[in-house]
Amino acid sequence: MTRIEDLDTPALVVDLDIMEANLRRVQDYCSAHGIGLRPHTKTHKSIGIARRQLALGAVGLTVAKTGEAEVMLGAEPRDLLVAYPVIGDAKVRRLASVAAVLGSKGKVTVSVDSLECARRLSDAAVSAKVQLGILIEVDVGLNRVGVSPSEAVVFSQAVKALPGLEWRGFAFYPGHIKSQDPEKIAALSRTVGDLRNDFIAAGMPPEIISGGSTPALFHSHEVEGVTEIRPGTYVFNDLNTVAGGACTLDDCAAYVLATVVSTSRPNQMIIDGGSKTFSSDKLSSGGPGHGRIMEGPGALFHKMNEEHGFVDMTNAERTFQIGDKVRVIPNHICVVVNLHEYVYGARNGVVEEVWRVDARGKLQ
Amino acid sequence: MTRIEDLDTPALVVDLDIMEANLRRVQDYCSAHGIGLRPHTKTHKSIGIARRQLALGAVGLTVAKTGEAEVMLGAEPRDLLVAYPVIGDAKVRRLASVAAVLGSKGKVTVSVDSLECARRLSDAAVSAKVQLGILIEVDVGLNRVGVSPSEAVVFSQAVKALPGLEWRGFAFYPGHIKSQDPEKIAALSRTVGDLRNDFIAAGMPPEIISGGSTPALFHSHEVEGVTEIRPGTYVFNDLNTVAGGACTLDDCAAYVLATVVSTSRPNQMIIDGGSKTFSSDKLSSGGPGHGRIMEGPGALFHKMNEEHGFVDMTNAERTFQIGDKVRVIPNHICVVVNLHEYVYGARNGVVEEVWRVDARGKLQ
């Protein structure tokens, strides 16, 4: 039996009670509103957690990269969405192979925003004798990828004409809605609803209208026509999720357990994690700090080198000694998980599960 | 035969001619000045590159974490320095095991700044029947770890009294000297020279005075008494090294090969790498951008999501199409390498070597 305090640090620990409540809360919300939940696995990158999401009722999984799709075959999803324009000869071939491996047990779908990308996928699908699902990626205001809503129907018709592809509908990513913002959500609903009507008028009712990320998750039912959402962060949550109002600090399941390794400077302690443990992602609100120290939130984790965390103790509630351990809730959990080999799931102080971060570094 | 353009992206590529010139230049500088070179392996984290540094004349290797020390046993260093306060029961036991494995073939040394740390190392060394070398970490102005110079002799005497430990001298890290700065280097030389004299006066002439990082590397001979330096970044260099004046853009060996995956927005292209490929480390100078696009430096890589790089094309020298590949020199190469599974070494357009990033994520 390994107790949390026996873990070698820095270690990424997940409170299983909180994680399970997070998973249930979002699945229950989706089920209550008849919305499919297709979790983005970018946050946990672990087959074991993906299996748990599917067992609770997720309709499928989302990945960003082809390498992640290959890994997530291990979770045996019935419907796997690559929410990324898959560009490159090797990548489209590999993705067609993923579809071949899934075979009749499931479907592989890609969200695309260019005919160039769709043509390559079509060629690869025909060569591999598979069908690839296609969602048209529509830009709803983030200005990242996606065709404009006015181009979506014509683009979809061009995609429909390509062999080996099955057009299934459209996807959007409202990453510009960082928190609960009724006006932005209403505008999004108008855009999505109008687009759905355009497709229906064109004789192409979408099977899938895929939206949603964690920040405005619980407003997904207010967006007209949405059939599924793709949140990732909700499994663990982080300080950014708290700041955006989609959860409270008590809903943050993941923290880095770190050790105080030096107190040689007055009013300062050094912990054994820096940018290679926490990433350099700042709070999306622009606030200071690289994480919240649960044992004394007045202690400001204000600066990092690669393996050193600098904590200003001027306003700390208590003192710490060399060897003391602290729990740090990170700003942005998705990039933190990607830096760790393992995630330790704990309950009542005891490590119950260890997940390998299977898709860590699967960039291609 | 794999050509660079056939690599699936994003891929971390190293120009072997430039890397080999970087390795030779620094080894030649050190040899000319009678300074030992103990490269910090945090930059490349690869056994293969560490072996090459040792073959060229490095006196040993530097690591930050115990897990990295375990990995770097594979390079068979004669002298392995853990330049980090090793705190934690498991860690000191594991480090004593590393020393036991090296046995008579080499030595393991730790830089420490607390008696607490030295005592734990002493206990572990005695238990494992090994000797651990000790360098006293001295703070020369970075205000990170390290005892103050005035405490160094007394602290060293206390450490010398502990069984299982061999006091070898002192280490410092001039990370506050970010570029060539004659006044700061002169001040550092006075501090280090005075401290050496204090040790000699106390009857403890140091075997090792270990300093140096990449930014002020070529001024190491101006620092009185330095016997070795521990630069890491010099193997590849990056935009921060260029900004600090320790190399030119032509000396940057490593770049991320990325593919243009979307051009759906006017004056913008999206490349297939974001913060999980490049890290979120900004330029230490505070300048804008997440890397320099070699094919068109006017194209500003100004923003990232996890897997998306946003490039503003307003001032770009040329246009790019979906599927085009670009080479991006990163701001801070050490954290970039840590995000990749492999590094591809290429010459004349052909991939000659593939290194696994062996110590990636070895945080403990």
**B114 and A322 in contact by Cβ < 8 A?**
yes
* Number of compact structural domains in chain A: 2
**B308 and A144 in contact by Cβ < 8 A?**
yes
Say which range, A102-106, A130-134, B50-54, has the weakest mean pLDDT.
Answer: A102-106
- The reply to whether A233 touches chain B by the CB within 8 Å rule is no
Q: What is the DSSP letter of B75?
A: G
A277 and A197 in a single domain? The answer is: no
A269 and A213 in a single domain? The answer is: no
pLDDT at B327: 98
User: In which band, very low, low, confident or very high, does the pLDDT at A213 lie, cut at 50, 70 and 90?
Assistant: confident
Per-residue pLDDT of A156-208, as tens digits, reads: 999 999 999 999 999 999 888 877 788 999 999 999 999 999 999 999 999 99
**B143 and A259 in contact by Cβ < 8 A?**
no
The mean pLDDT of B147-166, rounded to a whole number, is: 98
pLDDT at B10 over 90: yes
Query: What's the burial of B348, exposed, middle or buried (CB within 10 Å: 0-12/13-18/19+)?
Result: exposed
Chain A residues within 8 A of B178 when measuring between CB atoms: none
pLDDT at A291 over 90: yes
The mean pLDDT of A207-234, rounded to a whole number, is: 94
Residue B88: CB atoms within 10 A of its CB come to 22
Contact status, residue B68 vs residue B41, Cβ threshold 8 Å? yes
- What angle in degrees, to the nearest 10, is found between the helix axes of A89-102 and A115-128? 50
Contact status, residue A120 vs residue A87, Cβ threshold 8 Å? yes
B118 and B151 in a single domain? The answer is: yes
- The reply to whether B171 touches chain A by the CB within 8 Å rule is no
pLDDT at B146 over 90: yes
| B interface test, pick of A45, A91, A364 with most B CB neighbours within 10 Å | A364
**Helices (H), ranges, chain B:** 16-32, 47-55, 66-72, 89-102, 115-128, 152-160, 182-201, 239-243, 275-278, 333-337
Q: What is the value of ipTM here, to two decimals?
A: 0.96
**B265 and A42 in contact by Cβ < 8 A?**
no
B232 and B250 in a single domain? The answer is: no
Per-residue pLDDT of B97-106, as tens digits, reads: 999 999 999 9
Asked if residue B361 is part of any domain, the answer here is no
Per-residue pLDDT of B80-118, as tens digits, reads: 999 999 999 999 999 999 999 999 999 999 999 999 999
Asked if residue A299 is part of any domain, the answer here is yes
User: In which band, very low, low, confident or very high, does the pLDDT at B319 lie, cut at 50, 70 and 90?
Assistant: very high
A329 and A253 in a single domain? The answer is: yes
Asked if residue A361 is part of any domain, the answer here is no
pLDDT at A242 over 90: yes
The one-letter amino acid at B309: G
pLDDT at B352: 98
Sequence-ordered list of residues with C-beta below 8 angstroms from that of B350, at least 6 positions apart, any chain: B1, B2, B3, B4
Asked if residue A31 is part of any domain, the answer here is yes
Q: Give the minimum alpha-carbon distance from A107 to chain B in angstroms, rounded to a whole number.
A: 23
Last residue of a domain, one of B196, B219, B237: B237
Per-residue pLDDT of A5-57, as tens digits, reads: 999 999 999 999 999 999 999 999 999 999 999 999 999 999 999 999 999 99
Residue B34: CB atoms within 10 A of its CB come to 9
pLDDT at B325 over 90: yes
Contact status, residue B239 vs residue B331, Cβ threshold 8 Å? yes
Q: Give the minimum alpha-carbon distance from B191 to chain A in angstroms, rounded to a whole number.
A: 18
pLDDT at A179: 75
**B260 and A114 in contact by Cβ < 8 A?**
no
CATH number for position B158: 3.20.20.10
pLDDT at B102: 94
Sequence-ordered list of residues with C-beta below 8 angstroms from that of A63, at least 6 positions apart, any chain: A40, A41, A42, A69, A72, A80, A81, A82, A83, A84, A359
**B307 and A42 in contact by Cβ < 8 A?**
yes
Say which range, A84-88, A110-114, B101-105, B192-196, has the weakest mean pLDDT.
Answer: B101-105
Q: Which two tokens stand for residue A279?
A: 């990433």
CATH number for position B333: 2.40.37.20
Last residue of a domain, one of B203, B237, B271: B237
CB-nearest to A114 from B116, B148, B262 is B262
- The reply to whether B305 touches chain A by the CB within 8 Å rule is yes
**A270 and B144 in contact by Cβ < 8 A?**
yes
Asked if residue B168 is part of any domain, the answer here is yes
- Put simply, the chain A residues between 308 and 347 with a CB less than 8 A from any chain B CB are 308, 310, 321-323, 334-335, 338-341
CA distance B128 to B104: 14
Asked if residue B101 is part of any domain, the answer here is yes
A227 and A259 in a single domain? The answer is: no
Indicate the average pLDDT of chain B: 97
**B307 and A84 in contact by Cβ < 8 A?**
yes
CA distance A288 to A141: 28
A49 and A153 in a single domain? The answer is: yes
**A262 and B91 in contact by Cβ < 8 A?**
no
3 state DSSP class of A34? coil
Last residue of a domain, one of A236, A261, A289: A236
Residue A249: CB atoms within 10 A of its CB come to 13
pLDDT at B354: 98
B107 and B255 in a single domain? The answer is: no
- The reply to whether A90 touches chain B by the CB within 8 Å rule is yes
The one-letter amino acid at A8: D
pLDDT at A180: 76
The mean pLDDT of B275-281, rounded to a whole number, is: 98
The mean pLDDT of A130-136, rounded to a whole number, is: 98
A74 and A156 in a single domain? The answer is: yes
User: In which band, very low, low, confident or very high, does the pLDDT at B285 lie, cut at 50, 70 and 90?
Assistant: confident
CA distance B160 to B168: 9
The mean pLDDT of A284-288, rounded to a whole number, is: 88
Closest residue of chain B to A256, computed from CA coordinates: B363
Q: Give the minimum alpha-carbon distance from A286 to chain B in angstroms, rounded to a whole number.
A: 14
- Put simply, the chain A residues between 141 and 160 with a CB less than 8 A from any chain B CB are 143-148
Which domain range does residue A184 map to? 16-236
- Put simply, the chain B residues between 53 and 72 with a CB less than 8 A from any chain A CB are 64-65
pLDDT at B358 over 90: yes
Place of tokens 């238990």: B127
pLDDT at A4: 98
Sequence-ordered list of residues with C-beta below 8 angstroms from that of B86, at least 6 positions apart, any chain: B66, B92, B95, B110, B112, B117, B120, B121
A316 and A202 in a single domain? The answer is: no
3 state DSSP class of A84? coil
Asked if residue A97 is part of any domain, the answer here is yes
CB-nearest to B42 from A113, A282, A306 is A306
B213 and B260 in a single domain? The answer is: no
Chain A residues within 8 A of B9 when measuring between CB atoms: 88, 364
CB-nearest to B338 from A9, A276, A334 is A276
B154 and B38 in a single domain? The answer is: yes
